[in-house]
A and B are shown apart, each in its own frame.
Chain A
Amino acid sequence: MSAIIENNQLPFSTKFLQFYKDRTLLAILLSLFAVMFIYGIFFTENYLTITNFKAIIRDAALYGIMAIGLTFVTLSGNFFLLSLKETASICGVTFAMGMATGFGSPDLAGNFLVSLLAALAVGVVSGVIQGYFVGMGGNPIVVTLGGAGILYGIGAWWSDNLVINFTRPHDAEWLGTGSFLGLPSITWSFILIAIAAEIVLRHTNFGRKVYLVGANKAAGKATGHENFSMAIIVFTICSVCCAFVAVAFVAQMDSAQSNYFSAEFGSSGDMTILVIATVMVGGNSIMGGYGSTLRTSLGAIFIAMVDNMMVLQGFNSGPRIVGVGLMIVFSIIVFGLFAKGSRAQE
């Protein structure tokens, strides 16, 4: 009885926002898509072609996969993994080392599986170590910035800052440049990882714990879900995603260098900024507990769409980086405004 009365006591605006919050955010994102799309059709040449759309999704795939990994970190309330590009860098170097030299044993040189597992293992180790320190109570920014320096340094040291080449044909071509049923392998990977991540978040106990711990660490601890193991797992997921992207990118380039992900990558020069932008443009709560990987995937495609259009209109990299920056600012403002209705009450 009292519950029913109380429902009526909530101000109408609060109820409205509460009910439509989810849908509103999605609607904003979709209408932005529509606006960009229509603008593209009318004002950009060669926009409305299947090849171009494939290119958009393919662009989105690389940082989209990393952003999906980062979404787990952000949703669980552990803020960001700031060593994204450095993790990718050292994993890329590891993979290229394996492909080129077999880590010193010529029998293994060019063995895709060994190189892949080595790269993923490096990702797991760096994720577990950073997650451990965050789980122990370390500030995620400080821990992962420190991690960034160490990871990048080791990769550069190991590779002597040189470009590690391995020549075609090699066993990783199918992942780097191959395609299946008309779509590039990396696009397939993106789609499959996005679906898997969404299922994990929605329908597993682990996914639920991510949201709960992200919403309130203290309450999570009180109900038996500690952030210690959570931090280790989410940082590992994120680092493994970075490792996978690094492998795909290196397989595409047939070479690796420790600063591949700092300079000549994708639209904006800096991988870390681009991935964080993707998570935020998707409308995930920076404080954790609210959002989804589906939003992140849409965010990735949206950024790729805008970037693609700017490329077709002849902008060079400077203005495109400004574009990404503007998208971050815009998303913070819009999502901040619409999220206020309910979350501000906490």
Chain B
Amino acid sequence: MSTNPILKISKVSRTFGAIQALKEANFEINEGEIMGLVGENGAGKSTLVKIISGFDPGFKGSYQINGKEVKFETPSQAEESGIAIAQQELSLIPNMSVAENIFLTGAKVKKFATLNTLAKMARPYLDEVGLTEVDPTTRINLLSVGEQHLVEVARLISREAKILILDEPTAALGEAESRRILEMVERLAANGKSIIYVSHRLDEIFKITKRITILRDGVSQGIQETKDIDVNKLVEIMLGRELANMFPSKADHISDDPKLEVKELWPDGVLEPVSFSAFKGEILGLSGQLGSGAGEVLASIAGALQSRSGSLTLNGETFLPKSPSHAIKKKIAYCSSDRKKDGLFLGRPIFENLTSPALGAISKYGFNFGSSEDNYSKNLAKEFLIDVKRMHDESGLLSGGNQQKVALGKWLSIKPDVLLVNEPTRGVDVGAKSEIYQRMRELAARGITIIFASTDIQEITYLPDRVITFYRGMMIDEHRLEKIKTPLILKEITDPFNETNL
């Protein structure tokens, strides 16, 4: 191992008001190395990345490149030193061609350049990131999201970046596209670039990195050699506790009393009609990647997505919900995956959010004089561990975790028989995550049937009593209790038909 890191950060601290985002954190990377950077939400990953890429000059500590102390005031200064960052949100212009996007700043380009010239100039960079078959004159919005990520990286390389920071490049991608990104990362490293790879996907981290820097609460937990540790050890260092402890224990047994029967449901995004049952008091997990159809099935049970055919049987009634309000009347609650879009009224106070599905319960003859709503919403807030003192704050001011608690908690107001949750913990910090899991288990124990869809493999393995796997719009298999095993599920949601081995 080289003893002269190309970039070295030592004892860096950063405070925002009263909060200390980083406490004497250390970081280093060698030439041609892939360094993983992991940590839960709020651990200080993004702060560290911002400091490295020059977005945040207000830190204390030492920052060296090639052994020389540097101080970047702006991102462009960092770029001149060969540091470039690919953000999670792409900064490409959708209506322009690949080549134009790569040379967007106009550096190195002649005053008058035709698209063909640009295309020729772009070719080597595209080859380097593995987009050999993409025509540089194609418009960006005709490429897949994964390919767009690759173009973004090609742009960074074109500016002669030596150290690349990739911030969650695969977060929005499926398995095949992710694989291309990983291949590109490995190729770039082989070409001598240093890559800081930030990801929540631990399997990727293990696949491609040599060393891993782990942050917890703003403190770097030392640099680990990837080959020396396993996933459980890594998570333990990340969270400061063991993974399994985050999840409540599963039910003792699954009742045989079907609460909700789903027959021949066939929404858009699903290849063939889907039928299954959910039992009383169980947590049923629908597992599948983006585009697998799991989320669509959930949405169509809730009436949020039209189904071509099929019916639900709940409490002896057979029906097919036509709208969310129809489903709500039948005591089916649905918490969508995008709480900012259709889960919360961000500009309205928390208590209004909590009582929003059940205005009838807080009013008499359509009139509502405050006190009953106060009590009602306070009880809901207490059940979901939301700070009662903040009831009159706008819900948009809450953190992701607390927003999710409000988005979920409001459905208790209709006293649901079935609670559907799409991605129960997306964008939620670990503390709130475990609270949410705990609450879901308690609700199930109370007799509510909970069905959730998730792309998070840990969640799918440890939370539910039963799991149904989905792959590309098809239902694959069902597992129960202790038969739920991560490798098997992973296989079923990524490659159930052994296509990769063909």
Contacts and interface: CB of A to CB of B under 8 A. Distances in A.
B345 interface: yes
B324 interface: yes
Given A219-B343, A219-B344, A3 B367 contact: no
A50 interface: no
Contacts of A225: 325, 356
Contact of A222 (B334, B393, B397): B334
Interface in B321-359: 323-325, 328-329, 334, 336, 340-348, 352, 356-357, 359
A6 B402 CA distance: 9
Interface in B457-494: none
Given A223-B324, A223-B356, A223-B357, A342 B397 contact: yes
B347 A219 contact: no
- Identify the interface centre among A11, A219, A220, A285: most chain B CB within 10 Å of its CB: A219
- How many B residues touch the partner, as a band? 35 or more
Interface string B361-395: 00100111110000000000000011100100110
Given A3-B386, A3-B390, A14 B342 contact: no
A107 interface: no
B432 interface: yes
A203 interface: yes
A212 B17 contact: no
Nearest to A288: B347
Nearest to A12: B17
A123 B336 CA distance: 39
Contact of B346 (A9, A12, A215): A215
A209 interface: yes
B342 A203 contact: no
A205 B363 contact: yes
B397 A345 contact: yes
A290 B334 contact: no
B304 A8 contact: no
B348 A212 contact: yes
A222 B398 contact: no
B240 interface: no
B345 A219 contact: yes
Contacts of B431: 2
Contacts of B324: 221-224
Interface string B392-436: 011011110110000000100000000000000000010110010
Interface of B is mostly: mixed
Given A3-B385, A3-B402, A208-B359, A290 B347 contact: yes
Contacts of B393: 18
B334 to A, nearest CB: 7
A312 interface: no
B176 interface: no
Interface string B304-329: 10000000000000000001110011
Interface in A19-42: none
Nearest to A199: B367
Contacts of A346: 340, 346-347, 396
A215 B348 contact: yes
A161 to B, nearest CB: 44
Contact of B345 (A9, A12, A216): A216
B360 interface: yes
Nearest to A10: B397
B81 to A, nearest CB: 31
B1 interface: no
B433 to A, nearest CB: 11
Nearest to A222: B342
Contacts of B329: 224
B107 interface: no
Given A14-B397, A215-B347, A216-B346, A226 B323 contact: yes
Contact of B390 (A7, A209, A212, A345): A7
Nearest to B431: A2
B19 interface: yes
Nearest to B429: A2
Given A211-B352, A219-B343, A222-B334, A205 B396 contact: no
From B346, B386, B429, residue with most partner A Cβ within 10 Å: B346
Nearest to A6: B399
A256 B418 CA distance: 59
Contact of A289 (B18, B304, B347, B397): B347
Interface residues of A, number: 38
A215 B340 CA distance: 11
A4 interface: yes
Contacts of B18: 8-9
A53 interface: no
B216 to A, nearest CB: 16
A216 B396 CA distance: 12
Nearest to A342: B394
Contacts of A18: 393-394, 397
Nearest to B360: A205
Nearest to A11: B17
Nearest to A218: B342
Contacts of B359: 205, 208-209
A226 B397 contact: no
A316 interface: no
A313 interface: no
Contacts of B370: 203
B347 A2 contact: no
Interface in B1-45: 17-19
B387 A4 contact: yes
A54 interface: no
Contact of B366 (A10, A206, A223): A206
A6 B348 contact: no
A343 interface: yes
A44 interface: no
A139 interface: no
A204 interface: yes
Contacts of B387: 3-4, 7
Contacts of A343: 347, 396
Contacts of A224: 324-325, 328-329, 357
A203 B402 contact: no
Most chain A beta-carbon neighbours within 10 Å: one of B344, B347, B370: B347
Contacts of B19: 8-9
Interface in A163-183: none
B341 A218 contact: yes
Given A208-B352, A346-B347, A222 B396 contact: no
Contacts of A4: 387
A212 B352 contact: yes
B347 A222 contact: no
B356 A212 contact: yes
B344 A203 contact: no
B342 A216 contact: yes
A212 B342 CA distance: 11
A346 B340 CA distance: 8
Of the candidates A12, A215, A222, the one having the most CB atoms from chain B within 10 angstroms of its own CB is A222
5 contacts: A8-B18, A18-B393, A203-B369, A212-B348, A221-B324
Given A9-B18, A208-B352, A216-B342, 16 more contacts: A2-B431, A2-B435, A6-B398, A10-B397, A18-B394, A208-B359, A211-B345, A211-B352, A212-B356, A215-B347, A215-B348, A218-B341, A219-B341, A220-B345, A289-B347, A342-B347
Lowest 9 CB-CB distances: which A-B pairs, in order?
A: A224-B325, A3-B387, A218-B342, A215-B345, A205-B359, A223-B357, A222-B342, A224-B328, A215-B347
